[in-house]
Structure 1
Amino acid sequence: MVGKDPGLRISGLQVPSGPQRALIIASFVSRVGNGLFNTAAVLYFTLVVHLPAAEVGVGLTIAGLTGLLAGIPAGNLADRYGPRTVWLTTLAMQAATMAAFVVIHSWVAFTLIATLDRLAATASGAAGGALIARASGERPAAFRARLRTFVNLGVVLGTLGAAFALSANTRPAYTVLILANAASFACAALIVLAGVPNYQPLPRPEEHHRWAVLSDRPFVSFVALYGAMGLQYQTVSLLLPIWLSAHTNAPRWTVAAVYAVNSGVCVLLQSRIGSRVETPRQGGRAFRLAGLLFLVSCPLMALTADVPVWTAPGLAVLAVSVHSLGEVWESSAGFALGFGLAPDHAQGQYQGLFGIGFDAGQALAPVILTTAVLGLGHAGWLLLGAFFAAVGAAGPPVAAWAERTAARASYGRPNEARCSAPPGFRESQTS
């Protein structure tokens, strides 16, 4: 019984037992590696490999756009052959491509390896999402919220660890970071292999096809909304640091402070809030609330340019605290709707499209935020907040639309063809 096993506790955070524990530990390990590498990646490619920054940007753009192509095909493979097999394959590919970065010497090799890495990462998101859906148990929202808490914690610890390589600024130091990230993928794969059952594919209705998700208009609409709302992540990681450095008198350490506050709020509140957002209807309301919180945080960020130097850091921390609370509600909505609107037999395909939408939004975010928002100054911040509020307001109607569409589809099929489980239930048959 779930209530009889307290599971493992790490720093006060409860980790459930069984497959859920394995998935949380595997995700935590791989995200520590991501934090190690992502913090120093650009510096490695420019200062150690000696690629011009512009060429690195072009290569990463090519890799990012090409990587989007793997989402739905990988999801289909996960639905057809089982998500664990596909996810293990993608983790092995990521370990190999990451290790290959230590031997590149040209832009062509860099772009090729980066592209293969992004293809594997996108495929991993689709298959991993399908595996999470199958292992979610009786309280899927609570599990997913706890999973994201440990993912955030892993990134924070990896980022702190990368500081040693950045201070050394030598090729061996960067090489250690890259190989550690490669090892994290290999370790995650071993943990999943040992601790997660090989869930068998679920039976599919006759009308199912490889691109069925694209005909699910409510889900496609939500993916578009979530991709647009994803601009909020780079509002903190990209836009605000530039604003604080170029438009305010805030001390340089303010940038580090807002990063720490953002990470801390997400780690501390994700499980508590996310466990309360279970159904698509609750997800729609959470999405709306997130937009309203961003509507408050964006003007506060703009005001940091208009206050004395001793006030700017405090105002920036307040703004990021509000924004981070919105991030927690937004990610909780993404879990509830991204998983809850997908039929169980096609979770891989749906998670593939969900990842494509999010990644596309992240690819466009730097251009939008640095040109439209920074170019307009204070007015740009106000428009950005209004944009988030408008996108969030669409959450409840889209969730209601999706539920109506699912109900009509269910009534149109005979009982034996209804493959989707009721909300909160995940079949757990293993081989």
Structure 2
Amino acid sequence: MSAPAPGRARRLLDAALPAPGDPRLLAVSWLVKTVGSGLYLTTGTLFFTRVVGLPVHQVASGLTIAGTVALAGAVPLGGLADRFGPRRTYTVLLGVQFVTMAALAFARTFPAMLASMLVFLVAEQGSTAARGALVATVGEGTERVRLRAYLRVVTNIGITIGAAASALVVQADSRTGYTVLLWCTALTYAGAAVPLRWLEAPPSRPAPTAARTGSGRQVLRDGRYAALTLICGVLSLQAQVLSFAVPLWVIGHTEAPPLLVSGVVAVNTVMVICLQIRFSRGAEDDRRAALMCRGSGIALFAACALMSFTGGLGGEAATVVLLLFAVALTLGELWLSAGSFGLSFSLAPEGMHGQYQGFFSLGRGAAAAVAPALIAALCLGGHPREGGLLLGALFAVAGAAAPAVLRMRAPVAHEGSLTTATK
């Protein structure tokens, strides 16, 4: 006899959501925050140019400077999460982001804009590290990877909601609309802190004395984790291929309709929402996680090869190949996310997830900083086909190196020092 429809629906709902309690509260907090990210993503630059009145090149240089300097805050702020607790640290940093984003609405000069964005992005780097430590505290074992996968799905949902909500403001193109939207963005950071009040997560496991009294230098001595950060940083260039290369490539180098830019992004978003949790199964096992990173490199090589050969095709053929490119690129993203979730948690010592997650975020941050120049030189220059294949080869080599990370010697923390041992 089949179960009543309400009971079946309840089980399906529970399977589609994080576990009740702390995981679900953290997911709600992250949804609110990423809605704000979607609001800012579509209108932030327009606020700086339309309301503040800054030229585009000055906005770009200011964001580059602020983003680069902010990377320095990742490890120290992650260390604070280890020392004072990830929930408290994350909540404080969300408060800092609320204040600085609200203050940004009053900026009318380049120095004011730069100062606000610098503080905001430093807090963003720290909140990334603290949130990673909080996931490690809320989840145990396989639940960490599962929860991180849920948060990635939530990221895509939240950004999509925020971007859609801002569409009318962009269409109206008014100074008042951009300013109000910036205040709404600020409120999402305050709103994201509210669910954290009800978290009942136990304190993270005590760190070794060296971690508690040091300044976060332990992770800098961990060659294995540094290698993992480099590998995943290189593979994370795929995000910039999607956001930076695809619009310029489709419009300037193919006969495909410009609308396909949105089509590629739609394919990516839908696949991540529907498949990320499934692709993350088994990533708590180090060997399988490393193989996922290797698979990511292969898929990204295939994606780059597909994109590079669309230049000489007609409109319909280019459209078909670019959609296949979107699938291959997203498969690479799914495997990378799953593999990096598992390895970044399992290769970090307990009680030190804050500084380790902060260090791990540097790989993606550095990749985002160098990606526009690198991708422009390789894929959008005089030899795009050869450059695209070269970029794909870089992905493949990085992915192939992931299993070798597990054969490196792992540092073990003792009081006042770090020695090495095989995990």
Once the two structures are superposed, residues 101-123 of structure 1 have per-residue CA deviations (whole angstroms, 9 ceiling, x without a partner) of 21111101010001011011011
Q: Structure 2: how far apart are the matches of 1:26 and 1:258?
A: 28
Structure 1 match to 2:357? 351
Structure 2: state its 5+ residue gaps: 1-9, 416-422
Post-superposition offset of 1:317: 1.3
Q: Which runs of 4+ in 1 moved over 6 A?
A: none
TM-score normalised to structure 2 length: 0.91
Contact 1:9–1:15, Cα closer than 8 Å, also in 2: no
Q: Structure 1: how far apart are the matches of 2:66 and 2:152?
A: 25
Q: Structure 1: how far apart are the matches of 2:12 and 2:347?
A: 31
Structure 2 residue 304 is matched with structure 1 residue 301: no
Structure 2 match to 1:179? 183
Contact 2:74–2:125, Cα closer than 8 Å, also in 1: yes
Structure 2 match to 1:167? 171
Aligned CA distance change for structure 1 residues 89 and 163 (closer, same or farther; 3 Å):
same
Contact 1:64–1:115, Cα closer than 8 Å, also in 2: yes
Structure 2 match to 1:394? 401
Which of 143, 146, 149 is 2:147 aligned to?
143
Which SS does the other structure have where 2:17 is aligned? strand
Contact 1:143–1:275, Cα closer than 8 Å, also in 2: no
Q: Counterpart amino acid of 1:161?
A: A
Aligned CA distance change for structure 1 residues 396 and 222 (closer, same or farther; 3 Å):
same
Which of 200, 203, 211 is 1:200 aligned to?
203
Q: How many corresponding residue pairs?
A: 404
Post-superposition offset of 1:199: 3.8
Q: Structure 2: how far apart are the matches of 1:8 and 1:155?
A: 24
Post-superposition offset of 1:310: 2.1
With 266-275 and 176-185 compared, the bigger mean Cα shift is at: 176-185
**1:339-378 paired onto structure 2 within 5 Å:** 339-375=345-381, 376-378=383-385
Once the two structures are superposed, residues 265-324 of structure 1 have per-residue CA deviations (whole angstroms, 9 ceiling, x without a partner) of 111110111123112222111000000001111111122222111222222111111110
Structure 2 residue 89 is matched with structure 1 residue 83: no
Aligned CA distance change for structure 1 residues 201 and 272 (closer, same or farther; 3 Å):
closer
Structure 2 residue 228 is matched with structure 1 residue 222: yes
Structure 2 residue 112 is matched with structure 1 residue 109: yes
**1:23-422 paired onto structure 2 within 5 Å:** 23-139=26-142, 140-194=144-198, 196-197=199-200, 199-208=202-211, 209-210=214-215, 211-375=217-381, 376-401=383-408, 404-405=409-410, 409=412
Which SS does the other structure have where 1:311 is aligned? helix
Aligned CA distance change for structure 1 residues 331 and 167 (closer, same or farther; 3 Å):
same
Once the two structures are superposed, residues 163-184 of structure 1 have per-residue CA deviations (whole angstroms, 9 ceiling, x without a partner) of 2211111112212321221111
Post-superposition offset of 1:400: 2.9
Which SS does the other structure have where 1:200 is aligned? coil
Post-superposition offset of 1:7: 7.9
Post-superposition offset of 1:8: 9.0
Q: Structure 2: how far apart are the matches of 1:399 and 1:47?
A: 50
Q: Structure 1: how far apart are the matches of 2:31 and 2:210?
A: 38
Contact 1:84–1:199, Cα closer than 8 Å, also in 2: no
Contact 1:8–1:17, Cα closer than 8 Å, also in 2: no
Once the two structures are superposed, residues 317-366 of structure 1 have per-residue CA deviations (whole angstroms, 9 ceiling, x without a partner) of 11111110110000111111111110111000101111122111111111
Q: Structure 2: how far apart are the matches of 1:287 and 1:181?
A: 34
Aligned CA distance change for structure 1 residues 216 and 7 (closer, same or farther; 3 Å):
farther
Q: Structure 1: how far apart are the matches of 2:289 and 2:385?
A: 31
Structure 1: state its 5+ residue gaps: 1-5, 415-422, 424-431
Q: Structure 1: how far apart are the matches of 2:118 and 2:12?
A: 37
Aligned CA distance change for structure 1 residues 141 and 351 (closer, same or farther; 3 Å):
same
TM-score normalised to structure 1 length: 0.89
Identity %: 35
Q: Structure 1: how far apart are the matches of 2:182 and 2:154?
A: 21
Q: Structure 1: how far apart are the matches of 2:185 and 2:96?
A: 13
Post-superposition offset of 1:130: 0.5
Contact 2:378–2:391, Cα closer than 8 Å, also in 1: no
Post-superposition offset of 1:388: 0.2
